[in-house]
Chain A
Amino acid sequence: MGYLKQVPKWRTIVIAGITPTQLILDASLPVQLVLLTLLGLSIVSWVMIFQRALVLSAASKGVLSFEHRFWSGMDLSQLYKEGSQMQKEDIPVVGMESIFRAGFKEFMRLRQQPTVDKEAVMEGAQRAMRVAYSREEEKLEKHLPFLATVASVSVYIGLFGTVIGIMNSFIGLASQAQVTMQVIAPDIAEALIATAMGLFVAIPAVVVYNRYTASVDNITGSYITFTDEFSSILHRQIHSE
């Protein structure tokens, strides 16, 4: 009677675990490229996030301060002159004030011409304000489509890296007779880092995009309200003559 003993073919000694840093450094080239792309996207999207934060907070502050000045009972031509003074000092006039200036300028110019009737003056002023409003809205919404794209695409890019990584690991596994968890685990972990990175880029982009869209809507809404209020003031002024 013979005895057969299972002699271990492999003796695997893992002294310690693996770290994410090491995984990234040991990753295959496609996965590393995906990670680099995602890092770039992350940096650019965060640049946009901070830049938009500054722009939008400045715009909403500008709305409040201009409304305060506008409704303080100041003479409109006085308000216009202050703006001209600012422009002379190379300080750009933006937001609600630029809408006001466009409308008021057009209104004054048309009213000085005797041939133009009252309705045409009103129409001209409103058209000028609409154009100014479009420009302001455009300024506010700049870069938001980029954030939306990053939010939706970076997940797929990460997923792509993961699929490539897992594919590579399975190709490597095909040549091994005995597959243990210790053999598979590092490759899978390496592949999953790409998905994690994609989510890391996408989540702030989604949140910020939604928040900023709401904020832009808010600001443009107050612009529209102001435009209506200001045209009613102009209307009153032109018909009281």
Chain B
Amino acid sequence: MKDTFNNVVIYNGYPLSVVVAVTFHSVILALLLYLQSSKSPEALELVQPTVVKALLIQENPQVANERKRLERQQQQQRTREREVAQQAAEAERQRQEQADSRAEEQRKARELASLRQRQEQERLDADQLVREREEQNELEQERRRQLELAEAQRQQESRDRERQRQEEAANAAAAELASSEFEMVQSGMAIIQQAVQSVWSRPPSARNGMRAILQIRMLPTGELIDAVITESSGDPAFDRSAENAVYSAAPFRELQALPSNVFNENFRSLSLIFQPEDLLN
């Protein structure tokens, strides 16, 4: 009976073997999956690196102050203009009233005079004429004086306005100059930063929060004279990597395009802060 079983197995061993082999592989796979899931119960997720764009929002304080001053001036100017306009309107109204009342008086006087004239034509003829002329003269003078006053005021106003316009133009020109210089400095900084960053290979010992400051000196041609570590991070490898990065990023030829005063003020001597913030450890 045992032999019989053996013989059957020899010739029909394949189905059994297939079943056993497939089961074996399934068990191994299931085991691997189980170990994985038990090892990491928290949801596993790989977040794609997100690009953080560093935007410059800081403002040059000089430019900001200039702008504030300008705004204040404009405000004052506006209030002054409004006051002047009010005064002018007031004066105009008064003059009108005076003129009206005078005209009324004149008319009454004339009526009276004509009445009187009609009553006593012959007697008061000459007197009436003289008085009338005098009154008219007075009126004329008054009107002329007022006109002169208004004219003077207008001239004063236009002079003021002209002066202010000139001031404003000068201020704007100065601000523009300052801002373009500021932009030039910023773009130069960005060039240096990008060049240094692209060649800076950090050592494995680099950690977030490490900080090394290098003082570099440059020629107006963008060539590097020297780079000195002014503040060490405490890790010689890190310091060396920063130094190497600066040396291999130099020369910064783009800086040649800067005006010499801008270069001398901002780039002749420059401090670079090396501070990794994107490391995972």
Known contacts: A1-B269, A20-B36, A47-B17. The answer to whether A58 contacts B193 by CB under 8 A is no
How many positions in chain A have a CB within 8 Å of any CB in the partner chain?
Answer: 48
Q: How far is the CA of A48 from the CA of B24 in the complex (A)?
A: 13
B241 to chain A minimum Cβ distance, whole angstroms, is 12
- Chain B binder among A11-19, A104-112, A154-162: A11-19
Cβ contact of B50, chosen from A5, A13, A43, A139, cutoff 8 A = A13
How many positions in chain B have a CB within 8 Å of any CB in the partner chain?
Answer: 54
| CB–CB A18/B46 < 8 A | yes
Total A-B residue pairs with C-beta atoms closer than 8 Å? 146
Chain B residues with CB under 8 Å of A42's CB are 25
Known contacts: A9-B51, A62-B6. The answer to whether A17 contacts B280 by CB under 8 A is no
| CB–CB B17/A6 < 8 A | no
- In this complex, the member of A3, A6, A43 whose beta carbon has the largest number of chain B beta carbons within 10 angstroms is A6
Q: How far is the CA of A43 from the CA of B29 in the complex (A)?
A: 12
Known contacts: A6-B274, A42-B25, A65-B3. The answer to whether A11 contacts B50 by CB under 8 A is yes
Chain B residues with CB under 8 Å of A43's CB are 21-22, 25
| CB–CB B25/A46 < 8 A | yes
- Per-residue CB proximity of A27-38 to B under 8 Å, as 1/0? 000000000000
In this assembly, does A205 line the interface, its C-beta being within 8 Å of a C-beta of chain B? Answer: no
Residue of B whose beta carbon sits closest to that of A45: B21
Chain B residues with CB under 8 Å of A16's CB are 40, 42-46
| CB–CB A8/B278 < 8 A | yes
| CB–CB A13/B6 < 8 A | no
Chain B residues with CB under 8 Å of A139's CB are 10
In this assembly, does A4 line the interface, its C-beta being within 8 Å of a C-beta of chain B? Answer: yes
- Per-residue CB proximity of B210-230 to A under 8 Å, as 1/0? 000000000000000000000
Residue of B whose beta carbon sits closest to that of A59: B10
- Per-residue CB proximity of B116-155 to A under 8 Å, as 1/0? 0000000000000000000000000000000000000000
Q: How far is the CA of A65 from the CA of B91 in the complex (A)?
A: 141
Q: How far is the CA of A44 from the CA of B17 in the complex (A)?
A: 10
In this assembly, does B113 line the interface, its C-beta being within 8 Å of a C-beta of chain A? Answer: no
- Per-residue CB proximity of B54-67 to A under 8 Å, as 1/0? 10000000000000
| CB–CB A4/B40 < 8 A | no
Residue of A whose beta carbon sits closest to that of B3: A65
Q: How far is the CA of A70 from the CA of B16 in the complex (A)?
A: 31
Q: How far is the CA of A13 from the CA of B274 in the complex (A)?
A: 21
Chain A residues with CB under 8 Å of B14's CB are 47, 51
In this assembly, does A74 line the interface, its C-beta being within 8 Å of a C-beta of chain B? Answer: no
Known contacts: A16-B44, A92-B7, A94-B7. The answer to whether A6 contacts B275 by CB under 8 A is yes
Chain B residues with CB under 8 Å of A78's CB are none
Chain B residues with CB under 8 Å of A61's CB are 2, 6
| CB–CB A50/B271 < 8 A | no
B191-205 with Cβ < 8 A to chain A: 192-193, 196-198, 200
Residue of A whose beta carbon sits closest to that of B276: A6
Q: How far is the CA of A230 from the CA of B29 in the complex (A)?
A: 51
| CB–CB A12/B278 < 8 A | yes
Known contacts: A6-B277, A91-B7. The answer to whether A19 contacts B44 by CB under 8 A is yes
In this assembly, does B173 line the interface, its C-beta being within 8 Å of a C-beta of chain A? Answer: no
In this assembly, does A115 line the interface, its C-beta being within 8 Å of a C-beta of chain B? Answer: no
| CB–CB A2/B267 < 8 A | yes
B24 to chain A minimum Cβ distance, whole angstroms, is 6
Cβ contact of A49, chosen from B9, B21, B277, cutoff 8 A = B21
Q: How far is the CA of A21 from the CA of B45 in the complex (A)?
A: 13
- Per-residue CB proximity of B1-27 to A under 8 Å, as 1/0? 011101101110110111011101100
5 shortest A-B CB distances, which residue pairs? A8-B278, A46-B21, A7-B54, A51-B17, A50-B17
Known: A15-B47, A51-B17, A58-B10. 10 other contacts (CB 8 A): A2-B185, A5-B193, A6-B193, A14-B47, A14-B280, A20-B32, A46-B24, A51-B14, A54-B9, A55-B10
Q: Please, could you name 5 A-B residue pairs with CB atoms under 8 Å apart, sorted by A?
A: A4-B189, A6-B196, A7-B54, A16-B43, A22-B44
Name B residues whose Cβ lies closer than 8 Å to a Cβ of A. Answer: 2-4, 6-7, 9-11, 13-14, 16-18, 20-22, 24-25, 32-33, 36, 40, 42-47, 49-52, 54, 185, 189, 192-193, 196-198, 200, 266-267, 269-278, 280
